[in-house]
């Protein structure tokens, strides 16, 4: 491993280009050789990317975030804080997962959506189109939350539920 320095935004730090993809990885991270970090992707701070995970196409994984299994973070997405993306989950297209959020299973978060706090999107749940899921909220099953919908508190959206309007689902809401 040929260590150099790279500026991830707060000044240069010791870093190297990942052997599988060529993206920049800070030496403070844990990134397995089986993971793929694409040429325009970044992994820094104390982030962990392992197994067959993919970070590609302008995506960043940083702070104490973890991405593993076959999860994909791509197209300018950001995963940070203590967020975890695992299984076959996908965070993409300017979406963000942060705080203590979990995106797992076959879940998808994309198109500028935010998942944060202790929120969970799992199984086949989808959050997209500027929707926000946060606090202790959960989206799972085949449920879809999109548009400018906001799901928070301890609300749960699951099964075949589909919310696409400007709504606020919170406090013990189950749909």
Which SS3 state, helix, strand or coil, does residue 30 take? strand
Look at residue 68 and tell me if it is in a domain.
no
| pLDDT reading at 170 higher than 90 | no
- 128: CB partners within 8 A, 6+ apart: 93, 95, 108, 109, 110, 111, 112, 113, 144, 145, 146
What digits encode the pLDDT tens for the residues 152-169? 999 999 988 776 655 555
Residues above pLDDT 90, as percent of the chain: 88
Residue that wins the pLDDT comparison between 140 and 174: 140
What digits encode the pLDDT tens for the residues 57-85? 999 999 999 999 999 999 999 999 999 99
pLDDT on residue 165: 55
Q: With 0.85 as the threshold, say if the pTM is over it.
A: yes
Within this chain, do residues 104 and 48 fall inside the same structural domain, yes or no? no
Look at residue 1 and tell me if it is in a domain.
yes
- The CATH number that applies at residue 100 is 2.160.10
Average pLDDT, the chain: 93
Look at residue 171 and tell me if it is in a domain.
yes
pLDDT on residue 140: 96
pLDDT, average across residues 86-95: 98
Q: Domain range holding 13?
A: 1-58
Look at residue 47 and tell me if it is in a domain.
yes
- Structural domain count, the chain: 2
């Amino acid at each position: 491993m040929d260590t150099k320095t790279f500026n991830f935004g707060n000044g240069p730090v010791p870093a190297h280009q990942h052997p599988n993809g060529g993206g920049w990885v800070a030496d403070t991270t844990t990134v397995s050789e089986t993971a793929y970090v694409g040429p325009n992707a970044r992994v820094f701070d104390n982030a962990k990317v392992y197994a067959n995970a993919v970070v590609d196409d302008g995506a960043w994984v940083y702070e104490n975030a973890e991405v593993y299994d076959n999860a994909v973070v791509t197209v300018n997405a950001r995963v940070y804080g203590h967020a975890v993306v695992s299984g076959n989950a996908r965070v993409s297209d300017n979406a963000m997962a942060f705080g203590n959020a979990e995106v797992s299973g076959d879940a998808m978060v994309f198109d500028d959506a935010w998942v944060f706090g202790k929120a969970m999107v799992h199984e086949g749940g989808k959050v997209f189109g500027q929707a926000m899921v946060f606090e202790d909220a959960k989206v799972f099953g085949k449920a879809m939350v999109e548009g400018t919908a906001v799901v928070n508190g301890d609300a749960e959206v699951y099964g075949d539920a589909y919310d696409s309007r400007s709504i606020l689902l919170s406090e013990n809401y189950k749909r």
